[in-house]
Amino acid sequence: MSKCYNKTHTNYYENLRLTTEAVKLFQSSLLFILHAKNLFRFMQNEEGFLYIQKSVKLDSDILDYYHIYLFYLNYKLDLNFNDYLELAKKFETKYLEINQFKKYDSNLKLQKRIKLGFVSHDFRDHVIMYQIFDVLKELYNKNEFIIYGYFNHETEDDITNEVKKYFHFWVNISKMKDSEATNRIRSDEICILFDLSGYTVGNKIGIFIQRAAPIQISWAGYLNSLGLKNIDYIIADSNVVPINSKNTFIEKIIRMPNVWTTLSQLGMPNLTEVTTITPAIYNKYLTVGCFINIHKINNEVINLIIKILKNTRNSKFIFQSEFFEDLYYKNYFINIFTENGIEKERLELLGYLKRNKFLLKYNEIDVILDTFPYGGGTTSLEASWMCVPIITKEGDTFLSRCGLSINFNLGLNEMVYKNGDECINKIKSFNNDYKKLQLIKEKLIKNKKLHSLFDSKKFANDLSEQLYGLIEKDKEKLDFH
């Protein structure tokens, strides 16, 4: 998420100190939420969950608190999925208690050009746009659909202005109440409506609870079940949600033939700017990168990194986060390692970087370490496009299998591990044989144009086929006329 932030000089350590004192003095749900977020930033996740729970208990009518709770549960190592679904059900029940709206009456005329609607807070400079921009463009150019964009953000930037060109109709719903936005979408007679936000900041999930369209799909922005009965489908693939796995989703699964998403060429460097030599060849040491949202780096991930550094002496790690603009936070992060016997010279902590500079930093990396249980999405796709392999843990949830899906699509099954020891051994083997890493890099360079990960046109064609299949299957049930 690094490329979505503006450069700031927030003192995160002081923020944590202040909220720690404040929660001792005041019973405030908003204060509890602020304190929880500060705790998560400092990897004190379990205590953070306790304060989110307190906020929901204290002010159970504030729906945003449920969104925050559900979203942060994705960071939990030992998440009980039944508890997650129970919380989603509580949120849905509370939403229905608070909101009054007209029941949806499906009475659409099925036309040759199907109306697709996309609801998002993130039609702007945001990681989701780096995935789906070109897919939207391809869907627009196919002339099989009429594309509607429903933007839930007051500010439009250069990317907003660019993506608007690929919607036949564009509506800013940021100032609309849920019922007003729902009625607008119903009046537009949208056949298939996509939610691109889930429980992330700025979502309009209430539109989907109210049933704005006959077919409602979750895609790309939230890689977990929403636990809501009116979200009909979620887009996945057979790697992130295996066919023979225990299905914990409320939604039905749309399994794309290759991968659940793609990487658009929006803002990507020229091919000539991608280095063809893995840095270890000339550095004579291994450089491992972890460029993922700092919230995904939990204590278990930290412990693995410490073990990697101790077992591969001729190596260093590079991290990147806008949080490192705060000197106190940067020192806090470094101290975690130095207190465990790791020399600070083996760590490089990068602060805020504009996207182009951020992407070119991959040229200095031999291998990217993915996080768990919340793995990388856009960052892993970008690393692969920059021809830097990612090493990722095989998890048992959509979020924890994104890296696996990316690597399987790239033919890099050997870059997936099951436990920490296996991860350490794989990285040690690279440190003893830089040519092995170079061969992987050459494989990525040679086959880049063949990978479905970077073929938005193919993805759009596959998605179109899936959508027409849904309409045919659900035609009678949805009462099309």
Query: Measured at the alpha carbon of residue 298, what is the angle toward residues 297 and 304, in degrees to the nearest 5?
Result: 85
Tokens representing residue 319 in the block:
């991290």
Residue carrying structure tokens 């995160």: 12
Q: Any idea where the domains of the chain sit in the sequence? A: 10-86, 114-262+456-474, 271-454
* Assigned CATH for 271-454: 3.40.50.2000
The answer to whether 114-262+456-474 and 271-454 have equal CATH topology is: yes
Residue 128 near residue 216, CB atoms below 8 Å: no
Tokens representing residue 240 in the block:
């992130």
The fold of the 114-262+456-474 domain, in CATH, is: Rossmann fold (3.40.50)
Q: What does the CA dihedral 85, 89, 95, 101 come to, rounded to 10 degrees?
A: 110
Tens of pLDDT, residue by residue over 271-319, are: 889 999 999 999 999 999 999 999 999 999 999 999 999 999 899 999 9
Distance CA 241, CA 425 (A): 27
Distance CA 289, CA 422 (A): 18
List own/partner pairs for 460-465 with CB under 8 A and 24 or more apart: 460/135, 460/138, 460/139, 460/142, 461/138, 461/142, 462/256, 462/257, 462/258, 463/135, 463/139, 463/235, 463/256, 464/139, 464/142, 464/144, 464/145
Distance CA 207, CA 178 (A): 6
Tens of pLDDT, residue by residue over 441-471, are: 999 998 887 888 999 999 999 999 999 999 9
pLDDT along the chain (481 residues), means of 10: 48 94 96 97 96 97 98 95 96 96 78 92 97 97 95 97 98 97 96 97 98 97 97 97 83 96 94 94 97 95 98 96 95 97 97 95 98 97 97 96 97 97 97 94 88 94 96 67 41
Distance CA 363, CA 365 (A): 6
Distance of CA 347 to the CA centre of its chain: 26
> Mean pLDDT across the chain, nearest whole number?
94
- pLDDT score of 104: 83
Distance CA 218, CA 231 (A): 7
Residue 122 near residue 128, CB atoms below 8 Å: yes
Distance CA 194, CA 213 (A): 9
Tens of pLDDT, residue by residue over 127-148, are: 999 999 999 999 999 889 999 9
List own/partner pairs for 302-305 with CB under 8 A and 24 or more apart: 302/43, 302/336, 303/420, 304/369, 304/420, 304/423, 304/424, 305/337, 305/369
- pLDDT score of 1: 39
